[in-house]
Amino acid sequence: MTNPIIESAQDHMKKSQESLERDLGKIRAGRANASILNGVTVEYYGAELPINQVASISIPEARVILITPFDKTALKDIEKALLKSDIGINPANDGTVIRLVIPQLTGERREELAKEVGKISEMSKVSVRNIRREAIDKLKKQQKNSEITDDEFYDLEKQVQKVTDENIKGIEQIADAKAQELVEG
């Protein structure tokens, strides 16, 4: 028996995991990763466009991101957008492409980033726990209105807890993988 409240909670918890993966993808680990450019928008002919709509992004080497504009006239606009963004890397413009060289991380910086991963993952866990609480509150309301019996309530509550535990474990695995990536460099 599947309950719509549990299904809804599970969907929201999965979205919390996906959000965590997106947030952790923005953290630089000393390797080139095109996802650090996800939040960068370029003003192109009066419109703000994501950088991947005005240029192709490739990774020719482990620590280099190569940005090749579709229209060469957009090169200065892309460079300006990269300088304004919070990625913390100075673009190197050679007239045809822009190179972003990812600096090597120091041990101290790796530790800071690992702590940041911990904070972000803890926020995701809190989000999952809040979803659990909301689901249990909805089940209690159903129980109070005699829509479900006490036994059904306790069975459903156990199912909600099981789904919560699975998602928290998934969040921990995602965070551990990112922390390991940071440590290994």
pTM check: above 0.85: no
Tell me the three state secondary structure of residue 89. coil
Give the Cα separation of 81 and 122 in Å (integer). 31
Summarize the confidence of residues 8-33 as an average pLDDT: 85
Question: What is the pLDDT confidence band of residue 11, given thresholds at 50, 70 and 90?
Answer: very high
Tens-digit pLDDT profile for residues 66-93: 999 998 888 899 989 888 887 778 888 8
Give the Cα separation of 73 and 16 in Å (integer). 39
The predicted pLDDT at position 28 comes to 67
Give the Cα separation of 62 and 162 in Å (integer). 40
The predicted pLDDT at position 162 comes to 95
- The CB density around residue 174, as the number of other CB atoms within 10 Å, is 19
Q: Domains of the chain, with CATH numbers?
A: 9-26+106-184 (1.10.132.20), 34-101 (3.30.1360.40)
Query: Which residue type is seen at 79?
Result: E
Tens-digit pLDDT profile for residues 154-173: 999 999 999 999 999 999 99
Q: Are 64 and 103 in contact (CB under 8 A)?
A: no
Give the Cα separation of 113 and 26 in Å (integer). 11
Tell me the three state secondary structure of residue 64. strand
Query: Which residue type is seen at 95?
Result: G
- The CB density around residue 148, as the number of other CB atoms within 10 Å, is 18
Residues 6+ apart with CB under 8 A from 32: 59, 61, 62, 63, 64, 65, 100, 102
Find the length of the chain: 185
